[in-house]
Amino acid sequence: GVAVDFHQADLRDWPWAPARYDVVVAVFIQFAEPALRAAIFAGMQRTLAPGGLLLLHGFTPAQLAFHSGGPPCAELLYTPELLRDAFAELEILRLEEYECELQEGTGHAGQAALIDLVARKPLADATSA
């Protein structure tokens, strides 16, 4: 009984409405240079409703040793430190690096170095308490 509202969009133009979504999911959105990535990450946090969840899945720099997809340069890949810093205002529930076998079609198959982040936006702004 849950309605899911999917959107496919260019994140450079997405109108990050404040506190609009209960869940934001970002899977392999790593082709944004660091300045754009920072803007996207800030927008993702802004659009989360209080108590909302952020689910992010991407490649780590170790992916450069594999041929299963992802950006060809380290600056576009995620590290735990980068994600902790970028999402410091959220409660990190899970942050894990791991390797696994991808089977996601042509160009996205084989061993991969991945990272998952699950984080929750606080229910109340700590500065308003």
Reading the block at residue 82, the tokens are 């980068």
User: What CATH code would you report for 22-128?
Assistant: 3.40.50.150
Question: Rounded CA gap, 109 and 115, in Å?
Answer: 17
Residues 31-68: pLDDT tens digits?
Answer: 999 999 999 999 999 999 999 999 999 999 999 999 99
**What is the pTM for the complete model shown?**
0.89
What mean pLDDT is predicted for residues 3-22?
A: 90
Domain coordinates in residue numbering, the chain: 22-128
Greatest alpha-carbon pair distance for the chain in Å reads 51
Residues 68-82: pLDDT tens digits?
Answer: 999 999 999 999 999
Integer CA distances (angstroms), 90 to 44, 64, 73, 97, 124, in order = 11, 29, 27, 19, 11
pLDDT at 97: 98
